[in-house]
Amino acid sequence: MAQPRPVIGGQEHLQTHFSSPAESSPSHSSKKVPFPSSSWIRAHLASKSPYPHESKKVKPLNKEDMPLDHELVQLHLICRHGTRYPSTSNSIAFRTLSEKIRKVEVPGFEWLQTWHAETIYPTTKGALLAPQGDSDLYQIGRRFAGRYKDFLDQHPYDANTYQFYSSGKSRCRQSAYGFTVGFLEGRHAGDLDKIVPKMKSRTSPVQPVDISTVPLGLDKELAVKFACPRWTESVKGQPKVVYEANTYDDRVLPELAEQLSNRYVSQGGVALVNFTRKDVQTIYTACGFEMSFYGNDKTWCQLLRLASPVRSLESRDHHASEEDIKSTFLKLEISSDLSRYYTYGPGVPFNRHLGCKLATSLLESIELALAPDADYSTGRRTSSSHDDEDDASKLFRGQFKFGHSETIMFFSSFLGLYNKKGVRMTATMTPEQYEEREFKTSDLSPFAANMAFEVFRPKAAKSSPRKWRLSDEDGLSPPPIQGKVRMFVNEEPMILPGCETELCDWVMFKSILERAGARCDFETCCSSLGSPSEDTPSLARLETMGEIMQDENQDELDGICLAVDPITG
């Protein structure tokens, strides 16, 4: 015979202490339970935040958006994969916690009785791209197609002019494909049906696209942490790296767990569920997936209302205020940000070097596009004496790369996007300081986060008839490369630190990236500290954490990581 589930207190106590998410007790039936708006919650779920499609509109690129007497010649996109399933460990944590708390009946939380993690987030789908993830990238692709319609009309897709490059993870490859469907929807290479109308019924309704990948461990741009032994040894999980996050968690999480446990007591004060700090983090993570998958704040997100402090237990209305509930969400968001700030962000100066190869390929590709002797008919420079098929020497109209959350964070750190004030994020900052922090993963790296670059070339540059060489017999050298680059973060224009306007002059753009470390010696920079190479003896002198964490040693670290001169290459 099944044992009845415990009920917290008598019915009257239940209706005042716990109310449904929709309304309060009968005596307060006209009053809504305080809770932040869905839109507010969506914007404070750290790296599990859903992409804010609702705030993005198609903004067609027109003459007013372009620099005078310039033309758009190249596009770049660096994108995180779309919404994914929870990892297997997350799904197991959801299942364990739901089984733990469904034993107690709580009015307003009846959904727990039928909520089964294995059905909603199967462990067999751990970390795979979710249906919403397909939609994320498809929608972004559609908006890009709308903005660059004229560019696509003028330069239709083929594998020699557009490059799609993905991390080796399936969720990234699928995200790349989802983007291409939206970006090239209604288009087809060669428009064969226009040439031979009867072929229309034989062509694929979706444009086949070449998507390149590099195996994990070899990918130095998109899955770079797997290709950098030094980062694995000296940053990942190291005591000094996780110190601030752990210190903050030690101060904040036990209180949240205690407040939640105190809400799960019988009328006699007996604790029916003992929540741990890990449980609170699991609830926050589950809330993030529920919002990103389904836009649902009526399940796990509501449990964070019970983890929020109640000002007066003497009152008949035992609800936390909306501001206190927001404070609970913010504390968990800050906990997540502190961890990522040091593991992937500017908190560890070494992290910025993990963006150097991505910066190098961006720099070299733009330089090819802006060169006066760029020949788009051949995809090469006319001064080039080789005809190899190396992608690094190809002239692409567009390059689109699909990676991970850390891809965005490493590259953002390289560019200095979220460390302009130089204020280090710590465990002891005031609420006001946390509010003013630059590093907010909810904003910079939600699911499908992206960075884009528009490259504009002076129109006069394309008409030079001379095939310039670096050393002609008459002593002439190529004219200086000119152009402008505009950066977007999550589809909104952003001024690159060091530039004065959104449209950054190429000379300045190049200088900023080179000073930051583009053209770095990645292999030397990422060499294992445990087995330094003979030609880099200075590596053997490095203390594992000292030079990684301390700003005063950054010059020496740069000397190692930037073995190739950043200006001359």
Q: Where are the domains positioned within the chain?
A: 39-84+128-384+409-462+478-569
Q: Residue 14: its pLDDT value, please? A: 31
Residues 6 or more apart whose Cβ sits within 8 Å of residue 235: 241, 343, 348, 350, 351, 548
C-beta neighbour count of 12 within 10 angstroms: 13
Angle (nearest 5°) at CA 360 between 549 and 384:
160
Give, for all 569 residues of the chain, the pLDDT tens digit. 455 565 554 333 333 233 334 333 333 334 577 899 999 999 999 999 999 999 999 999 999 999 999 999 999 999 999 999 999 999 999 999 999 999 898 888 999 999 999 999 999 999 999 999 999 999 999 999 999 999 999 999 999 999 999 999 999 999 999 999 999 998 876 555 555 556 555 667 788 899 999 999 999 999 999 999 999 999 999 999 999 999 999 999 999 999 999 988 877 778 899 999 999 999 999 999 999 999 999 999 999 999 998 765 544 446 789 999 999 999 999 999 999 999 999 999 999 999 999 999 999 999 999 998 777 666 666 665 545 556 667 899 999 999 999 999 999 999 999 999 999 999 999 999 999 999 999 999 999 999 999 999 999 765 544 444 444 455 556 678 999 999 999 999 999 999 999 999 999 999 999 999 999 999 988 988 664 443 333 333 333 444 555 544 444 445 446 433 322 22
Q: Residue 478: its pLDDT value, please? A: 65
**Three-state secondary structure string covering 326-371:** HHHHHHHHHHHHHHHHHHCCCCCHHHHHHHHHHHHHHHHHHHHHHC
User: Which CATH fold topology does 39-84+128-384+409-462+478-569 show?
Assistant: Rossmann fold (3.40.50)
**How far apart are alpha carbons 372 and 294 in whole angstroms?**
50
**How far apart are alpha carbons 529 and 446 in whole angstroms?**
33
Residue environment code for 469-496, b if the CB has 16+ CB neighbours within 10 A, otherwise e: beeeeeeeebeebbbbbbbbbbbeeeeb
**What is the pTM (predicted TM-score) of this model?**
0.87
DSSP string, 458-491: EGGGGG--S---SS-TT---PPPP--EEEEEETT
